[in-house]
Structure 1
């Protein structure tokens, strides 16, 4: 990856397009599950989002293998996709970017107030 791609995010754009091309080959219920997983996982990203690329690749690989084996998506992921994503991102209650920013803001305000 060159410097320009890293700065502009072109590398991630290419990778996400490749993920979407792989998702289009999956059955409809798996595509719907991927969409929900994608929605829930992005709240656990760092500033750039690069930390999620290996996780997304692994989840997509899991979905591809399960679909090839003929399993139902509920058998693989369960009924709680949000909980599945939380477990993927770390322990239950993993901090989202909003939590991290809130904590940083609170720390900065406390420093300014001299506490």
Structure 2
């Protein structure tokens, strides 16, 4: 298994991808206030940092382009995708809980 732990370029790619995905998620679904914007941004950022590697590997495997991308590109793509989709998944769960929690 590859050691991605201490490579500065991969951590930078994770950070940039996570921030970009979190920012795009704010644009797609505008927050109601500053507090919601902050919590959405930081939750997206953390999800991108944590799940960026596995999501990137899953994406390049599904698309069949694993051999043509560098590790940094895979990490950037995965972090952005994980960060962007994190709030959509959390939003869907919150809406389901709100709907069925009232009963």
TM-score under structure 1 normalisation?
A: 0.35
With a CA cutoff of 8 Å and minimum separation of 6, indicate the structure with the bigger relative contact order. Answer: 2
TM-score under structure 2 normalisation?
A: 0.37
More helix by share: 2
